[in-house]
Amino acid sequence: MPTDTCTDWQLLIQADIDGELPAADAARVAHHIAECAACAALQARMLSLRGRLRAELPRHPASATMRAAITARAKPAAPRLRPGTLAGLAIAASLLLVLPLVDNLPGPQADLVSAHLRALQPGHLTDVLSTDQHTVKPWFDGRLSFTPLVKDLAGDGFALVGGRLEVIAGQQAAAMVYRRHEHMIDVFAMPADTLNRLRAATGIGEHGQRDGYAWIGWQDRDISYWAVSSVDVSELRGFVSHWQRH
C-alpha cells in the first residue's frame, strides 16, 4: 500500500482513473506514479478491478423512457437560453447518451473514446491553440516524459487545431487535435512500452469501431499513436496513411 506520505494521492489516483481530473492534475498524478512504486501498484490494482467489473458485471441498455427523460432534463427552459447555448446543449445531450455505450468497451479503448468525447465539450478541446506544428510540438516539452510527433497535414485536408495533455488508462499522454470538415480527430500519443503493457493486460486492439467512433493505432519508433474520431472509417484510415507518409 502507499506510504503515509502518499495518502493524499490515493483519492487523486481514483479520480484520475475515473476521468474526473483536469489535464494538468492528471499529468501530476502520472508524474508521481512514475516515481512511486507503491502508488503505481495501487493504480494497477484499481485498473485491474475496474477491468473485472466491466467484464463480469451484467449491463442493461437504457430504456427509451430513460433516454427521453435524460434528454428532456438536459434542455433548460427556452426563456433562459443565451446566444451560443444551443450548441453546448446539443453536445451535452449527445454525451449523456453516448457515454453509457462507451462503458461497454474494454478499458483502454473506453478511455480513448471517452477522452475524445470529453474534449468535444466547450473549452476542453485544446490546452495550446495553434495551426503551427512548430508551436504545438515545443509546447509539450517539459510537460511530458517523451516528445510526440506533431505533423502539418493541412495540405491533405486535415488541419491542425492544437494540442492538450491527457491521461489514458492512468498513463500520461499527449493529444494532437486535427479538423476534418465538421469532425475533430484526436491523435493520442504515449510511450510504446506503456501501451505494450496495457495491451498485454487488456487485449486492446490496434483498430476498431463502436457506436459511430473509430480508433486506429500504430507505432513510430518508441511512441505509440492512436487516432480517434467520428469521421468515416475510410477517412480515418486516410488520415493515418497521410500521417505515416509525412
pLDDT value of position 203: 47
CA pair distance 11, 33, nearest whole angstrom: 13
> Which three cell numbers, joined as nine digits, stand for 97?
447518451
Domains with residue ranges and CATH for the chain: 1-59 (no CATH), 61-102 (no CATH), 107-246 (3.40.1000)
pLDDT value of position 14: 80
CA pair distance 88, 214, nearest whole angstrom: 23
Q: Taking the CA of residue 4 as centre, how many other CA atoms within 13 Å lie in the half-sphere pointing to its CB?
A: 0
What's the maximum distance between 2 C-alpha atoms anywhere in the chain?
55
User: 55 by DSSP, 3-state: which?
Assistant: helix
- Please report, for the chain, how many H helices and E strands are present, in that order: 9, 7
pLDDT value of position 59: 63
Quick one: CA dihedral 82, 87, 92, 96, positive or negative? positive
Each of the 246 residues of the chain gets a pLDDT tens digit; together they read 444 467 778 778 887 777 777 766 777 787 788 788 888 888 778 877 766 666 666 666 666 766 666 666 655 544 444 444 444 444 444 433 333 334 444 455 677 888 888 888 777 788 999 999 999 999 999 889 898 999 999 999 999 999 999 887 777 899 999 999 889 999 999 888 766 665 554 445 567 777 788 888 888 888 989 999 999 999 999 999 999 998
CA pair distance 131, 104, nearest whole angstrom: 35
* Owner of C-alpha cell 446566444: 83
User: 179 by DSSP, 3-state: which?
Assistant: strand
CA pair distance 240, 219, nearest whole angstrom: 11
- CA distances (Å), 17 to each of 30, 124, 167, 206, in order? 11, 18, 9, 22
pLDDT value of position 63: 67
pLDDT value of position 137: 93
- CA distances (Å), 202 to each of 49, 55, 73, 225, in order? 12, 10, 36, 17
